[in-house]
Structure 1
Amino acid sequence: MKKLNTIDLFAGAGGLSLGFVRTGCFNIIAAVEYDRYAAQTYAENHEGVDVLREDASKISFKEKIETKYGKVDIVIGGPPCQGFSNANRQKSNLISGNNQLVQHYVRAIEELDPIAFVLENVKTLESKKHFFFVDSSNIDEVNQLGIPTKKEKINLCGENETAAMIAGVFPYMADLDLYRIKKEGYSLLCTLLKFSRTRERAEKYFKDQEKRIDKLFKDWEHLHSAFWNEQWEHFFRDAKEILQRFGFEREEYSIYFDRLKTLVEVEQAIERLSELNENHIDFEIQVSDSRITVIADTFTVKDYLDCKFKALGYDCNKAILNAADFGVPQTRERFIRIGIKKEIANGKEVKLPSPILKENDYNTVRDAIEDLEELDASIDAEAPPIHALLKEGSKLAALLYDEDIICNHVATDTGEVAKKRFEALAQGENFHNLNKALKTTYSLPERTQNTIYLRLQYDEPSGTVMNVRKSMWIHPILNRALSIREAARLQSFPNSFVFHGSKNSQYQQVGNAVPPLLGQAIAECLLEQLEIKSASSLANDLGVATTSTHMEREDDHIA
């Protein structure tokens, strides 16, 4: 049987590709991944696949892929997508470059015209916070496709002093670039504010970053090339002395913080206004009760995808899938959309894969990693492989134990404070269960997420695996951080899949990946609808008897 020529966009380390390859019916001819370490990992684990380490927004898919490899049958991939929130005051950018990558995924579908595609993404992809701005580059398509638009209100500021400062720039909107602060200065001021929420944290940051802050003050007079009025000029120049007074003499913290906060908020507003101008977005400014708001036309990612794929001739279905339903030992919910050409779907409803396991039968952390318990984890990212035989274990462990060589059993090194925290926490507990004496290095411990310093529970699935090094996840019974290999097992990667790059990159690659078992379930479901027999059966692999690999998913269906 001729295999289906497939490309993987935004491929990461290659978890989705691995799931598709396991069916024996897909020939991955090319993968696009810009991150160099992820691209290396993909290439090392997918022999014969051409990995294009290029910016997907700049690729001509027709010329770069179809011309070289021939007709593409299937496109799979998960373009990054970041939602917008007015509440995120540290995020100055209105327009995420990641959000635009969703449009480039759709562009690939348009250029390559595959018979089917799979789009994987965050479970909130279709929420209202995921939207695009209407601008000069897309307004014609928005109108042509009949995509619904909505007026979106974006807060520029909400305090009297800040509002008064920003209002002064409105007569000079055409010259905003002239009044923007230098990028390096703006970045440092934002970071300084982030670390100044408490007096103690601010003092520590000034001490730790003395050289950077000294340079900031030396360059202060040159951070702005022009000011829109004398009021803002005096405010900005006086700010230097106020910041120095606290930084060098530790005096007047509240005055320092208020001045720094206003300074950053004004600069942030200028950055946002500039971004709207640069992207040719029409907007109006609304001033009321000391609050300044920008109003612009937007359209949701959901409406864009629905309208665009329909126009391209695809029947689609979509759902939130939980990886635990498909044998992955973690509760990881992801948005999945499957599209099949109308002439191939032939009037039949496109299906999503049915859960294979019931909740009581979910694979657990123990099923995934217990066999690694007696193996010493290294702290060296270049540690040599470990030879180990699986004496006994779960069906999942046997499935992932496709060779007796263990790579990437590498954990982050930890200091004395971290080790004391490890020792103090029982399974299922996290940072918030520590006593106050072990929280002193955190300036705002009450705002710490529940996933920080989480000791996993052996007999439950884990939560969503992200970068567990940053979260400081703890082994269920050992007083050490979770290793890269253990995190990979929780993502259902087999022993033979080896990660490459720096230690943090390997942790990040694991956290970003689509679990291969979830990918396999999606691939088998797609094949059934294309009337192609899969060489694999995930249900059989998991020891479950089933008669169907798809269902209506009435409960999970996304309207």
Structure 2
Amino acid sequence: MIGIELFSGPGGMGLGARQAGVKVAIAVEKDPFAAQTYILNHREATVVVDDIVNIIEYDFERKNEQVILFGGPPCQGYSNSNRMTRSKENPGNWLFKEFIKSARIINPDWIVIENVPGLKNMDNGFFLEQICNDLHGAGYTPNFKILNSADFGVPQKRERIFIVASRHGVAFEFPKGMFKNHVSVADAISDLPVLNNGNKESKLPYKSKAKSDFAKLMRGQKRIVTQNYVSKNSELVIERYKHISQGGNWQEIPLELMKNYKDPTRCHHGIYRRLKQDEPAFVIANYRKSMLIHPTEDRGLSLREAARLQSFPDSYVFCGPLVHMQQQVGDAVPPLLAKAVFERIKRISA
């Protein structure tokens, strides 16, 4: 099966496809840093660094294999945390039309669209209905479901909606999660190095042997862990961290340490959250801006820790300035979640 990925970002979905046995031939991504990450980690794919609106044809060798077109059109407008942009008037919410345009050009056997779960209810389901109607109009049979990453071996409680459509009239049945015992934060990162606020260690030895099957999977044959990069927070922010227990958030911070906030009692519940080591992580997203805190150390997460919590293997290298690498990790589709969807498609197609 040949894969073509649109809005690829750093390649989390593409990695899941590759792990499932899909040969990714082309990826399209306009952000140069995310594209550089894709190029470095997916050497067999041709990466087109351009806005999808500029692409009018796709040149690849189809042979006798089925083709799967997949990707996640930008989803900020569909997110529950961005209510100001959740409307038909926001042009960024219509980029799925470019995806459908590419589908009509390529005529793939399968289409997979991934997005935030807020897409289901945005404008009373208007956008989800539009996408499904457009897929029907292009000759596809779509189905959709919200999947929780933690149910598929990802150490993170992250829900995503997947729309899977077949050109051959297949009513796709989504995979069921196989992990009733979820992978915890401790399972995921406890073997990674001890770090301090602001550390920028490109290479360090592991702290210990891998203590879980997940950690063994992420490490592979590596002996040195790379990209141990931690944002440098002010002394005031670090002092705030010290007051927050595992699972807690900004509400545990004394008010005298929050005086720079206009009204500290109205902070978003998602900021200054410390991970619980015996549970999957909260949604990683932009973990630097939300001040997501290491479960046992008074600092933010390192780039490698966040990548692990997204199920990127330690061999995966991110490119660009640190803030861009952090954004890439937070925006990515967890590879192990994507892998489960692609494996299901391949079984049906065999």
Where on the TM-score scale, by shorter chain, does this alignment land: which range?
over 0.9
Q: Which digits, 9 at most, give the CA deviation of each residue in 1:408-452, with x for residues without a partner?
A: 211110111111111111111111111111111111222211221
- 2:216 paired residue among 395, 398, 407: 398
Question: Which residue is 2:14 aligned to?
Answer: 17
CA distance in 1, matches of 2:124, 2:95: 13
Asked if structure 2 preserves the Cα contact closer than 8 Å seen for 1:84 and 1:130, the reply is no
Question: Which residue is 1:474 aligned to?
Answer: 293
One-letter amino acid of the structure 1 residue matched with residue 11 of structure 2: G
Question: Which residue is 1:229 aligned to?
Answer: none
- 1:339 paired residue among 165, 168, 174: 165
SS at match of 2:69: strand
Shift of the 469–88 alpha-carbon distance from structure 1 to 2, 3 Å rule, reads closer
User: How do residues 243-392 of structure 1 correspond to structure 2 at under 5 angstroms?
Assistant: 300-342=126-168, 345=170, 349-358=171-180, 361-372=181-192, 374-376=193-195, 379=198, 383-388=201-206, 390-392=208-210
SS at match of 1:331: coil
CA distance in 2, matches of 1:415, 1:77: 37
Asked if structure 2 preserves the Cα contact closer than 8 Å seen for 1:378 and 1:410, the reply is no
SS at match of 2:20: coil
1:69 CA displacement: 4.5
Shift of the 379–22 alpha-carbon distance from structure 1 to 2, 3 Å rule, reads same
Is 1:5 the counterpart of 2:2? The answer is: yes
1:106 CA displacement: 1.1
Task: Flag structure 1 segments of 5+ consecutive residues without an equivalent.
Answer: 132-299, 532-559
Shift of the 91–469 alpha-carbon distance from structure 1 to 2, 3 Å rule, reads same
Shift of the 103–356 alpha-carbon distance from structure 1 to 2, 3 Å rule, reads same
SS at match of 1:353: coil
Is 1:114 the counterpart of 2:108? The answer is: yes
Shift of the 404–462 alpha-carbon distance from structure 1 to 2, 3 Å rule, reads same
CA distance in 1, matches of 2:78, 2:215: 40
Count of residues in Structure 1 that have an aligned counterpart in Structure 2: 346
Task: Flag structure 2 segments of 5+ consecutive residues without an equivalent.
Answer: none
1:475 CA displacement: 0.7
CA distance in 2, matches of 1:120, 1:89: 20
SS at match of 1:407: strand
1:98 CA displacement: 2.1
CA distance in 2, matches of 1:505, 1:35: 10
CA distance in 1, matches of 2:225, 2:268: 32
SS at match of 2:289: helix
Shift of the 56–88 alpha-carbon distance from structure 1 to 2, 3 Å rule, reads closer
Question: Which residue is 1:38 aligned to?
Answer: 34
Is 1:508 the counterpart of 2:327? The answer is: yes
The answer to which structure has the higher helix fraction is: 1
CA distance in 1, matches of 2:119, 2:82: 18
Q: Which digits, 9 at most, give the CA deviation of each residue in 1:283-306, with x for residues without a partner?
A: xxxxxxxxxxxxxxxxx2122222
Q: Which digits, 9 at most, give the CA deviation of each residue in 1:149-179, with x for residues without a partner?
A: xxxxxxxxxxxxxxxxxxxxxxxxxxxxxxx
Residue identity over aligned pairs, in percent, reads 36
Question: What TM-score does the superposition give when structure 2 sets the normalisation length?
Answer: 0.92
Question: Which residue is 1:421 aligned to?
Answer: 240
Question: Which residue is 2:55 aligned to?
Answer: 59
CA distance in 2, matches of 1:110, 1:526: 20
CA distance in 2, matches of 1:57, 1:458: 43
1:459 CA displacement: 0.3
One-letter amino acid of the structure 1 residue matched with residue 118 of structure 2: T
CA distance in 1, matches of 2:78, 2:179: 35
CA distance in 1, matches of 2:3, 2:87: 34
1:81 CA displacement: 3.1
Question: What TM-score does the superposition give when structure 1 sets the normalisation length?
Answer: 0.59
1:319 CA displacement: 0.3
CA distance in 2, matches of 1:421, 1:88: 26
Asked if structure 1 preserves the Cα contact closer than 8 Å seen for 2:197 and 2:299, the reply is no
1:342 CA displacement: 2.4
Asked if structure 2 preserves the Cα contact closer than 8 Å seen for 1:378 and 1:409, the reply is no
CA distance in 1, matches of 2:6, 2:210: 38
One-letter amino acid of the structure 1 residue matched with residue 212 of structure 2: S
1:407 CA displacement: 1.5
Larger radius of gyration: 1
CA distance in 2, matches of 1:39, 1:528: 30
Asked if structure 1 preserves the Cα contact closer than 8 Å seen for 2:218 and 2:308, the reply is yes
Is 1:491 the counterpart of 2:310? The answer is: yes
